[in-house]
Amino acid sequence: MAEITAQDVNKLRTMTGAGMMDCKKALTEAEGDFEKAIEILRKKGQKVSASRSDRDAKEGSVFIKTSDTKNEAVLIALNCETDFVGKNESFQALGKLIVETAFEKKSISKEALLSEKVGDLTIAERITELVGKIGEKIEISEYVHMKGEAVVPYIHVGSKLGVLVSLNGTGGKDVTDAGKDVGMQIAAMNPLAVDEKSISQSIIDKELEIAKAMILAEGKPANMVDKIATGKLQKFFKDNTLVHQIFVKDNSKTVAQYLDSINKGLVVADFKRITIG
């Protein structure tokens, strides 16, 4: 049996960030071989990850990386079980590493991102490694990669909610401030889509069905049901589509009118809103 010294344990702890007793046990099992000990700790992390796979991970942070040219960005939500861990330095460092990797590799999906390698480990393995150290479930719940004429990020206070807004018709202007205003609107009002054309037919059919049932229950004449239901549908679009919503920073304008006042023809091409929890 190899003699495991306090210096050895401290060295492994520095290398891995694992607890002192975990490091000592791993080194003892590995008979002093650091590479084997690290592998043992990783395997422990995999076991912890598996044992906590059914736990709720409703805390964490969103992370955003935007290109210098302001026409591309990635947004991830990294979840954990407790707010304490969500504020942990190692957790925050992992989130930044993941979002930087996603941007650099141009990962096409969450699954592709998890398989991207940073050094000798994939992102999935790095998550598992941190699970082993912290003892909580950690997962990427959402991943968005967006490109456009102008892509503007917005992170709400507390980093629990993040938005990406793609704008067209900038006319070469810097529309960052306008994009952040729209991002704040999306964060606050949670629209279903950019406009009525982006609402699925199934949702439209459901809203019309509900509206007609309500109208008939109110005793309105049958020959007026379709007309009144159409009016209710237009109200639904106004409340739930971004460009038709009343602008939260100026109630005299819709979001579409606000953007047009910034630059004639400035429009929202797309948006994504991600929340933790």
Q: What is the pLDDT of residues 98-142, one digit of tens each?
A: 999 999 999 999 999 999 999 989 999 999 999 988 889 999 999
Homologous superfamily assigned to 53-147: Elongation factor Ts, dimerisation domain (3.30.479.20)
Distances (CA, A) of 105 to 17, 108, 130, 148, 172: 27, 9, 22, 18, 28
Strand partners, 270: 166
Burial class (CB in 10 A: 0-12, 13-18, 19+), 61: buried
Q: E strands along 30-124, which residues?
A: 59-66, 72-80, 117-118, 121-122
Using DSSP's 3-state secondary structure scheme, residue 245 falls into: coil
Q: Are 187 and 167 in contact (CB under 8 A)?
A: no
* pLDDT tens string 13-55: 878 878 889 899 999 999 999 999 988 988 888 777 777 888 8
Q: What is the pTM of this model?
A: 0.85
Identify the CA nearest to 277 among candidates 161, 111, 124: 161
The CATH architecture one would assign to domain 6-51 is Orthogonal Bundle (1.10)
Identical fold at 6-51 and 53-147? no
Indicate the domain borders of the chain.
6-51, 53-147
* pLDDT tens string 179-196: 999 999 999 999 999 999
